[in-house]
Structure 1
Amino acid sequence: MAIQARLAAVLAALFIAMATTPIAAAQPAACGTAPLAGDRVALLIGNSAYNDWEWPSLKNAVNDIDYVCDAFARAGISPRIVRNADMATLDTALTRFAAEAAGAKSVIIYYAGHGFEYGGRNWLVPMEAPPAARRADVEKRYLSIEAAVKRVVPTGAFTLLFVDACRTAEPVVRIEDVNVAAGEAASAPLGLLDIGQGAVFYSTAKGRPALDFAPVGSPVSPFAAAVVKELAIPGLEISDYFKIVSREVYKRTHGMELGPQQPFHYGSWFDDYYLVAPPEVPAAAPARPTSAVAVVPLPAKGQATTAARSAATDPLADISLDRLAIEDEPVLIADVLSRHPAAELVRLADGGHPLAQQLAGYMFSLGVGVKRDLPRARTYLEASAAQGFPAGQQELAYLLLENDPSAADVKRAYDLYVAASNAGFSKAKTHLAYRLAAGTFGPADFARSQALYAEAAEKGHPAAIFALTYFADTRAANLARLRTIASAGNPEGNHWLCEAHFAAKTLAGAIEDCSVAARAGFAGSRAILADAYAKGVGVTADASEAAHWAKLARALPELRKDQRALIAGIGE
């Protein structure tokens, strides 16, 4: 019990150090031992105590599942823990779990340990498994993840897999009777899993290690730390949750000797899925807005957005328009929700706070942190825009154009974009520039579009910087800007470098950027990388790698039509 008490104290201290909403730590021995209950259940498997002779030990794998266990339980997910299990123990645990999970609507499996792929299937490594085996013995010595899923997940249930294991090229298991020289396939890093309805979340990309700790001395892996940290934010649909966990792991491991570590996810699901359900947030209807387009001057960096607001009275005073104007919305919203519950933002929005109204409008329009409600989203965005708040104007214009707009909606969206652009809001300048070039508001106006892109780029908006690479006179300077963004650890810079070099047919010099961005989950970079492997552009042609990245790209709904066409037929 003394060891368990020390571990509980370490984990509790880590919660405080992460400066997130605390989840009270239960004793590790208690969590995961009660009978399963409810329609959401989890099986947590952690294998740490490998013998350091045949297998490297993984100090934190068991710590990880102890850490995750309590967070899942607090989220209403009933967990079962299996620690340092041999094959017989795993078999018994799966039988018990399958019986208890028979009525579940969603099943989560979290594995931390060693794993590999062989024969088109993926395998986890039990404690007593050997580092080498003959083909006929693989199924006896190692546990097929696909078989485990089929065994424990009821028909029709949503399946969610977290896999925290290295995926480096060095063979984890040697298949003794495989003739690699003759072209027979040996073991490989863990690959894609076919699980039907659900999603898989790998802690690291193919060919990369999964760090057991970050920073040095941490009692849990960077993946487990991020999984728990972001679980404290309610109402994140699973795809948004994956994105912010991935960014958190990347940030924690950037600059480390074996870093950065980039998790990635894929899957197929029809309905929104939440690890922590969005809260019911009743609203007091905001005052009815006027239709006039007003303009609020952009404040100096770091200042509040109106003279009446100050850090002493405004809980959102630290969120400047400069930040709103350039930061990726899912990352920004996740940061806001980690410090301000959705109910607080809605309360502020109902009280007339223009920034809260814009944030609430975005959240309700996409179902981030709250249940999706387009009419309510528009109400908040109308109220924000009516106050002349540039971010609200830009978001309302986008909403109008993305939802079967009438001619009046198009005209109004133009006026809103112009008002926000004239106020100096960079994201609005980029949106307006794109629409002008695309001819949304009449004949294409490339000169005005380029000027707006230049203004937004000067403020640091990555998409605008990318757009300027299309113009010969601004290409070199803006490629350099994107390189600076990428070098600072922001994979959005790598993504736009990948897109820019693909468009210019100079992709061979940016393959590593495509790889970084693809691992970070950017749909376009995944498609471009798949095409590169299919054609051997900048890399050795590899049909399996092309199919791998094409499948991951298609899994993302934001993949553009032209990019879907680019990879049509690859791996299908």
Structure 2
Amino acid sequence: MKQVRRIIALVAGLLALGGLAPAAAAQSCGTAPLKGERVALLIGNSAYNDFEWPSLKNAVNDIDYVCEAFERAGMAPRIVRNADKAALDKALDDFAAKARGAKSVLIYYAGHGFEYGGRNWLVPMDAPPATRRADVEKRYLSIEALVKHVVPKGAFTLLFVDACRTTEPVVRVEDVDVAAGVAGSAPLGLLDIGQGAVFYSTAKGRPALDFAPVGSPVSPFAAAVVHQLAIPGLEISDYFKIVSRDVYKATFGMQLGPQQPFHYGSWFDDYYLVAPVEVPQARAAAAALPVTAAAAPPAGATRGPAKPAADPLADISLDRLAIEDEPLLVADVLAHHPAAQLVALADGGHPLAQHLAGYMFSLGVGVKKDLPRARAYLEQSAAQGFPAGQQELAYLLLENDPSPDDVKRAYDLYLASSNAGFSKAKTHLAYRLAVGTFGPADFVRSQALYAEAAAKGHPAAIFALTYFPDTRAANMARLRTLADGGNPEGNHWLCEAHFADKTRKDAIEDCGVGARAGFAGSRAILADAYAKGDGVPVDAKEAAFWAKLARDLPELRKDQRDLIAGVGE
């Protein structure tokens, strides 16, 4: 799994849908022969009878909608609509037989589901709302069994599940004495699928909205899945992150919202739904535009030729670069500007494009990973005095086995970027000064830099200031404002701050939001809370659940790994 770039390691619109979604895809999608190394099985159950089960108007619309998107991404899809148990079994047998040579299998389910007996189940159209223990396997379809049946041995599994995960029992198992403490049915839980990833449309204990906004022809999850699939070259962990952000923003403030998609998994190599594009070096600079006011270097730096009337990157300000998480920002840029255009702009001398290209090549976002090429673009951006390029180059130098000269140069770059007012550089430099990267620790200077970055709204700097008694209260309030405004990063840092202050029980809800949003620290802190009963009842199962998910993230700090050592292992 690729390490997600977070500043977390440095300090211990609606859905942009425009007219939302077009009409559901024609029902011809998913009928072509299954062939190739990447195949998809899409199951949608909408027409429940509203007596035994609530109907889901958009579930079949969703799979029709995502079908065309996955097909455009180079997958061979097969659709199963409104199927009873017998029809599902037959469809799975057919799919398994025809997908034997696949190296990657995507499964997308929209409908009702639940967990019982340590396994997860989807609900066929003819399934009853109540059953007996002996009949569970006859009436419902085990998702684990489905995966085992249709995914060839050694293939990568990617499972999307759009189903409610509320605590109310979806199915009543009649011969289970729940009152005596015997476990009945529960919300869909973790699936053990081996090499691959699971992407739930919502967090445990929360509903999955069938539409948002009201009247939408598809669910907010399906809309975001398709919307972000248009961006080539997003490694799957980054893709999950931006889809989750879109759904959270689209449902924030709704009566049953916000809805937080949730993912986990284990994979060793980068996985792309849409492969990075090949961008040859030294593309014709004629396609590039010169530097413009929005991306210009600071005063005194050399400027390019006369500015044209429009710059495609004019809406990306230094202030935005200085506080926004790079994966989200770069995904937004790639949604509007192909990677080839950004590289052409970089080759033409555009310092912001050079910064973006450097980041993209350093992590393989939108393009194939190429560290020498990444450094070359960042060197060009930094040479123009562009603060974001200076900061990113300093980071790259320190993260790749730096020599003493690299360390000195990184300091000079951070200092230049910080002096130009770039908040992210101030936070990086403050952290490095506090931990002694550049010599003896300097906490006074570190605090001053954090204060300057926090004043510009950088969340990690705001959190860092909660460690200083004289600035704690004001910055806790700042984090609360971020959280209340719909930014889960605010919730995460509140969780970290309360944990450090030994007041975790006051921030359990924030830890939950941060954990569901994918922040490693929040997951570890929540796991420890369930293990110790701090702010929540002791629950070994929940502790193990969150501990596993925290350990799966490479950015989890050592002290947090130590915190949950042994939990669920």
1:64 aligned residue: 62
2:403 aligned residue: 406
Measure the CA separation in 1 of the matches of 2:138 and 2:257: 34
Trace 1:30-179 onto structure 2 (pairs within 5 A): 30-179=28-177
Measure the CA separation in 2 of the matches of 1:71 and 1:52: 30
| Shift in Å, 1:183 | 2.0
2:439 maps to which of 438, 442, 447: 442
Secondary structure of 2:28's counterpart equals coil
1:231 aligned residue: 229
State yes or no: 1:17 paired with 2:19. Answer: yes
| Shift in Å, 1:15 | 6.9
Measure the CA separation in 2 of the matches of 1:106 and 1:430: 41
1:432 maps to which of 425, 429, 432: 429
- Output the aligned Cα RMSD: 1.9
1:463 aligned residue: 460
1:11 aligned residue: none
Name segments (4+ residues, structure 1) moved above 6 Å: 305-309
One-letter identity of the residue aligned with 2:298: P
One-letter identity of the residue aligned with 2:490: G
| Shift in Å, 1:313 | 2.9
1:278 maps to which of 271, 276, 279: 276
Is the 1:149–1:195 contact (alpha carbons within 8 Å) kept by the matching residues of 2?
A: yes
1:501 aligned residue: 498
2:200 aligned residue: 202
1:8 aligned residue: none
| Shift in Å, 1:25 | 7.6
In structure 2, the CA distance between the partners of 1:214 and 1:224, relative to structure 1 (3 Å rule), is same
Measure the CA separation in 1 of the matches of 2:298 and 2:33: 59
1:248 aligned residue: 246
| Shift in Å, 1:182 | 2.2
State yes or no: 1:556 paired with 2:553. Answer: yes
Secondary structure of 2:467's counterpart equals coil
TM-score, with normalisation over the residues of structure 1? 0.93
One-letter identity of the residue aligned with 2:508: I
- Segments of structure 1 that go 5 or more residues without pairing to the other structure are 1-13, 288-294, 300-304
Is the 2:521–2:557 contact (alpha carbons within 8 Å) kept by the matching residues of 1?
A: yes
State yes or no: 1:420 paired with 2:422. Answer: no
Deviation track 1:49-86 (CA, whole Å, cap 9, x = no partner) reads 00000000000000000000000000001100000000
Is the 2:284–2:344 contact (alpha carbons within 8 Å) kept by the matching residues of 1?
A: no
Measure the CA separation in 2 of the matches of 1:195 and 1:431: 38
1:371 aligned residue: 368
Is the 2:511–2:525 contact (alpha carbons within 8 Å) kept by the matching residues of 1?
A: yes
In structure 2, the CA distance between the partners of 1:83 and 1:413, relative to structure 1 (3 Å rule), is same
2:292 aligned residue: none
2:331 aligned residue: 334
Measure the CA separation in 1 of the matches of 2:67 and 2:76: 9
1:3 aligned residue: none
Is the 1:25–1:70 contact (alpha carbons within 8 Å) kept by the matching residues of 2?
A: no
| Shift in Å, 1:470 | 0.2
1:385 aligned residue: 382
| Shift in Å, 1:221 | 0.2
Measure the CA separation in 2 of the matches of 1:109 and 1:169: 24
Percent identity over the alignment? 83
Is the 1:296–1:423 contact (alpha carbons within 8 Å) kept by the matching residues of 2?
A: no
Deviation track 1:127-175 (CA, whole Å, cap 9, x = no partner) reads 0000011000000000000000000000110000000000000000000
Secondary structure of 1:539's counterpart equals coil
- The number of residue pairs the alignment matches comes to 544
- Segments of structure 2 that go 5 or more residues without pairing to the other structure are 1-15, 286-295
| Shift in Å, 1:311 | 7.8
1:297 aligned residue: 298
Deviation track 1:265-284 (CA, whole Å, cap 9, x = no partner) reads 00000000000000001111
TM-score, with normalisation over the residues of structure 2? 0.93
| Shift in Å, 1:520 | 0.8
Secondary structure of 1:76's counterpart equals coil
1:220 aligned residue: 218
In structure 2, the CA distance between the partners of 1:476 and 1:16, relative to structure 1 (3 Å rule), is closer
| Shift in Å, 1:314 | 1.4
